[in-house]
Amino acid sequence: MLLGLAAGLVGVLALMRKRSLMADTLSHASLPGIALAFILATTLGVNAKSLPLLMTGAAITGVLGVLAVQWLKTRTRLKEDACLGAILSTFFGFGIVLLSIVQTMRAGNAAGLPRFIYGQTAAMLPADAILMSAIAGLSIVAVLLLSKEFAVVAFDDEFSLVQGWPVSRLDLAMMALIVLVTVSGLQAVGLILVVAMLIIPPVAARFWTDRLWLLFVLAACFGTLSGYLGSSISALFPGKPAGSVIVLTSGVLFLVSMIAAPRRGVVAGLVRRIRLRLRFEVDHVCEAAYERSLESDRPVLTHATLQDLTKTRGLDPFTRAAVATALRTRHYVRSTPAGLEPTPAALARGARVYRNHRLWEQYLITHADIAPSHVDWSVDQVEHVLSADLIRQLEDALGQDGIDLRTPTPTIGAAP
Amino acid sequence: MSDSIFQFITLDLFPLLAATLASLVCALLGNYLVLRRQSMMGDAISHAVLPGLVVAFLITQQRLPIPMFLGAAVAGLVTVILIELVRKLGRVEPGAAMGVVFSVLFAFGVLLLSSDRMRSVDLDADCVLHGVLEGLTLNLPHDTPHTWGGIFSLSNLAHIPRPVVTLLVVLLISSTCVAILFKEFRLAAFDPALATAQGFRAGALHMLLMALVAAATVASFEAVGSILVIAMLICPPAAARLLTDRLNTQIWASLVLALTSAVSGYASAIYIPSAMGRDSVSVAGSIAVASGLILALAALFAPTHGVLARTLRQKRLTREIALDDLLAMLYRAKEIEAEPLSVASLGFAAEPRTLAIARQADLIALANDRVTLTPSGLDRARNLVRTHRLWETYLVDEAGLAPDHVHDIAEKLEHTNLTPPDAEHDPHGRRIPSE
């Protein structure tokens, strides 16, 4: 749980610096360290299964891996992804070679080592748990102390360099924190899945907020929550690996966030798009009604014409029905014996849209040098989004009475 | 046929062949991943294939090759699609999107593996990671005669380990695709937008590439494990990219490098430990390390893009510029008809090394601690000062800079090969020497 908290916090840093996959490379690169520490300890006759020792080994090769990535990235023309992948696989391959050596070693009751790959929460000793809690606590304190510095560097590293922040040292501190959390998570969730603890909670939290401090809080909450729920669920079903249950729990949290988050979520985005579309279509119907009212005194929209209007715009039946409903619920049409009659509100709205349309059209012709035949196309989209301020500016620019707003759309050759 | 050759063919040939084929097919496709900056996609796919394998097994209840292959391939494609979805719908940074998707899928796979029905099977996550290359021996009937004809008789074809055959098929398919669509793939890799504009459908090509990568991953899986797949997708193409600028050459080079790392990795895993009297180590891991070492060598020693070559180039340039500066200083001093300068008064322009190089090239002469230009030195110095002053004139006349701001820029431009337009006097009123 504490690990989830710490991983959530530190993961935010990695996410902000776009270094999510760095943790992946780091955790894979820690395998040779674990194996080397084990081999060394066995040959020296020390207790080879002591966690601090293995974790030190993991941290050392992990950092070496990260340094190697940096070296490749800055000194050759290889891009970051290739460097990450190359180092990850090479180090992990070396780790596997060492593991196969360990397995053939005489003293090698090496049964404990593979657990670092997949993790085994249940196998933790109280002392190990205390050590991990200490590390997690340390990283939490560090993040809290340095959060402002990290924020500055994360958003604009060049600016903060110019401003005199010790960017490279802060980056180093950040890397160190990621190393700490990764290494302390190794035993609990395994080296492949510890990445998930660093990546998923922050990404999930990112859907809910744009504010950094809230992001920290939420990521920590998600991390803790998935740690807590995951380990409780896996306790209910003995034999299930806790690490994967924890990761799956955080995966569910991520999915929920992605779908349901109020502003950046998928549903919210969909609703926004549909509402915008509906607004445009209502605009168009109102505009058409207004144009008809210019021709005849009492404009009546029969059901058939409403359908015609929406059909010419290529709407599917579903959207057409939605537009019709929207028109009715907003009292833009009322039923009369002759058919549907647009209300004054609809005509006013239509007039507004129509006027915007003409204004923008004129503007494009006189000021933007667009061929008249192309004007209508772009106007159709922009007429909905002109702000009041912009309309005033357009009126000023074009001269209030210089244009008859009732002039029909200009055709080729009719340009002023 | 001697026994040692027989032993080699039955024990080592097919694991070696599997490793080589896997390396070749991965390296071939990896070229495009490296170019498209999607190397980590290989990592993601190879992890996420695990649930596909397990689900295929749970459905069929058997380790049938074809359902397993299909399950894994579907999982690979699902991974690619999910990553795209998360990236686009959630507007998540690509690295993070990859991390989310593959770690969740992998966790799902590990969880499925631990279910009771899977207990009895020898499909464990370890073999997913580093494969069972060592198990791909040729199991011939005991009465097979120890002759070439005996081993490669038609009846023994059935004993060829299946992963080797699968790999061969996938390699054939991939290389055919790459050969036919070479131009299209190249354009899509370097400029997807242009490719789409030209009607290539870069998106579809990308999906095809991903499908091939997924197929290669799955085919290599059983034999060599996911780690070697990632290493082979990235290391040989990355190393080849450091060696050449042409895609054609890069692909061939990556294939050669992949072959080299497969053979050398295999040899060092099997023969070195046995020479030291120990058991052999993990072959897949050793090949991955070999490919990493090859990449490291390429990064250090590649002719133009290697670190060493770059450093040397930089050193040489620094030396040239120091020499240029010394000569120009001497020329300017001579121009205002000062006494020949002493070494001390040259200050930092007269580093002992620079002086030594200049003397060796017969550009300057040293007499009684006085430094003078030789005729050839004078020529070179005059040209330098001329270029410098021409640049100053150009910068003031054409670029509109103030006369007191142009010196530093001209100081840099004078070392390039560019030729400024001709002029008589520089902005400070000094005559520009003729060539």
The C-alpha atoms of residue B184 and residue B188 are separated, in whole angstroms, by 6
Interchain pair A77, B242: CB under 8 A: yes
Contact at CB, A89 and B288, closer than 8 angstroms: yes
What does the pLDDT read at residue B144? 65
| CA B207, chain centre distance (Å) | 23
Question: 10 Å Cβ neighbour count for B364?
Answer: 24
Chain CA centroid to CA A1, Å? 24
Section A352-366 average pLDDT: 80
| Helix A20-44 / helix A167-189 crossing angle, nearest 10 deg | 60
Q: What ipTM was predicted for this assembly?
A: 0.82
Q: Using the beta-carbon criterion (under 8 Å), do A93 and B288 form an inter-chain contact?
A: yes
Read off the pLDDT of residues A165-194 as tens digits, 9 standing for 90 and up: 777 788 778 888 888 888 877 777 777 778
- Closest Cα to residue A113, out of A31, A182, A228? A31
Tell me whether residues A206 and B92 touch, CB distance under 8 A: yes
A103: amino acid identity, one letter: Q
pLDDT in tens, A368-406: 665 555 556 556 666 666 677 777 777 776 665 444 444
* Number of alpha carbons in the 13 Å side-chain half-sphere of residue B149: 0
Q: Tokens representing A393?
A: 């500016």
Q: Of all residues in chain A, what percent are helix, strand and coil, respectively (each to 5)?
A: 75, 0, 20
What string of DSSP letters covers B382-433? Answer: HHHHHHHHHHHHHHHHTT---GGGSHHHHHHHTTSS--PPP-SB-TTSPBPP
**Bigger pLDDT: A321 or B176?**
B176
The predicted structure's pLDDT at residue B255: 94
**How many Å apart are CA B100 and CA A199, to the nearest integer?**
6
Contact A135, A180 (CB under 8 A): yes
Helix, strand, coil percentages, rounded to 5, for chain B: 75, 5, 25
Reference B74, options B98, B56, B96; nearest CA is: B56
Contact B89 A76 (CB under 8 A): no
- For B237, which residue in chain A has the nearest alpha carbon? A82
Inform me whether the C-beta atom of residue B117 falls under 8 Å from chain A C-beta atoms. no
Tokens coding A199: 């990546």
CA–CA separation, A82 vs A72, rounded Å?
Answer: 9
Helix runs in A76-166, H state only: 80-104, 115-118, 126-155, 157-162
**B239 CA: distance to closest CA in chain A (Å):** 9
Asked whether the beta carbons of A311 and A320 are under 8 A apart, the reply is yes
State the pLDDT at residue A142.
83
Q: Which 57-86 residues of chain A touch chain B by CB within 8 A?
A: 72, 75-86
CB contact under 8 Å between B106 and A193, yes or no, is yes
What the block records as the tokens of A349 is 């709205």
- Is pLDDT larger for residue B104 or for residue A415? B104
Number of CB atoms found within 10 A of residue B31's CB: 25
With an 8 Å Cβ cutoff, are B93 and A21 in contact?
no
pLDDT tens series, chain B, 435 aa = 677 777 777 777 888 888 889 899 999 999 998 888 888 888 888 888 888 888 888 887 776 667 877 888 888 888 888 988 888 888 888 888 888 898 899 888 888 877 766 555 555 555 556 666 666 666 666 666 666 666 666 666 677 777 788 888 889 999 999 898 888 888 888 887 888 888 777 778 888 888 888 888 888 877 777 778 888 899 999 999 999 988 899 999 999 999 999 999 988 888 777 777 667 778 888 889 999 999 999 999 988 888 999 999 999 999 888 888 888 888 888 888 777 777 777 777 778 888 888 888 888 888 877 888 888 888 888 888 888 888 888 888 888 888 888 888 888 888 887 888 888 888 887 888 877
Q: Is A44 exposed, middle or buried, given 0-12, 13-18 or 19+ CB atoms closer than 10 A?
A: exposed
Tokens, residue A293: 């009212």
pLDDT for residue A414 = 34
Please spell the DSSP secondary structure of B54-78, one letter per residue: HHHHHHHSS--HHHHHHHHHHHHHH
Answer whether B91's CB lies under 8 Å from B192's CB.
no
DSSP annotation of A193 reads: T
Q: Which residues contact B308 (CB under 8 A, 6 or more apart)?
A: B300, B301
Residue A412 pLDDT more than 50?
A: no
Q: Mention every residue, 6+ apart, whose C-beta is less than 8 A from residue A136.
A: A2, A3, A5, A6, A181, A184
**Nearest CA distance, A256 vs chain B (angstrom):** 12
Cβ proximity of B221 and B54 under 8 Å: no
Q: Which H helix or E strand runs over B342?
A: strand B341-342
Q: How many residues does chain B have?
A: 435
Helices and strands, counts by H and E, chain B: 18, 3
B14-35 helix and B182-190 helix, angle to the nearest 10 degrees: 50
Q: Which among B93, B98, B116 has CB closest to A18?
A: B93
User: Are B214 and B73 in contact, with CB atoms under 8 Å apart?
Assistant: yes
CA distance B356 to B369: 14
Query: Number of CB pairs < 8 Å for A and B?
Result: 212
Looking at the partner chain, which of A100, A203, A248 has a beta carbon nearest the beta carbon of B282?
Answer: A100
DSSP letters spanning B131-163: --GGG------TT--SSHHHHT-GGGGGGS-HH
* B134 vs B132: CA distance, rounded Å: 5
Nearest in space to A205 (alpha carbons), one of A371, A9, A3, A357: A9
Q: Residue A202 has which token pair?
A: 């922050």
Burial of B120 (0-12, 13-18, 19+ CB in 10 A): exposed
Mutate to test the interface with A, among B26, B38, B234, B274 (most CBs of A within 10 A): B234
The torsion angles phi and psi of B367, rounded to 5 degrees, stand at -140, 130
A390 or A1: whose pLDDT is higher? A390
* Cross-chain residue pair B241–A77, CB shorter than 8 Å: yes
Number of H helices, E strands in chain A: 17, 2
Instruction: Specify the 3-state DSSP secondary structure of B338.
Output: coil
CA distance B24 to B243: 18
Contacts of B284 in chain A (CB under 8 A): 93, 96
Q: Which residue of B has its CA nearest to A31?
A: B285
DSSP string across B261-277 = HHHHHHHHHHHHHHHTT
B287 touches chain A (CB under 8 A): yes
Check: CB of residue A261 under 8 Å from CB of residue A203.
no
Contacts of A97 in chain B (CB under 8 A): 269, 281-282, 285-286, 289
What is the amino acid identity at position B113? L
Q: Does A42 touch chain B (CB under 8 A)?
A: no
Give the separation between CA A133 and CA A76, rounded to whole angstroms: 39
Q: Alpha-carbon distance B33 to B250, whole Å?
A: 13
Tokens of B350: 């007269």
Q: Encode pLDDT of A210-259 as tens digits.
A: 887 888 888 888 888 888 888 788 778 776 777 788 888 889 999 999 88
Q: Which residue pairs from A97-100 have beta carbons closer than 8 angstroms and sit at least 24 positions apart in sequence? A: A97/B269, A97/B281, A97/B282, A97/B285, A97/B286, A97/B289, A98/A31, A98/A32, A98/A35, A98/A36, A98/A39, A99/A31, A99/A35, A99/B282, A99/B285, A100/B281, A100/B282, A100/B285
A64-123, pLDDT tens digit by residue? Answer: 998 899 888 888 888 888 898 899 899 988 988 888 888 776 555 555 666 666 665 555
Check CB contact under 8 Å for B110 and A241. yes
| Residue B349: alpha-carbon gap to chain centroid | 40
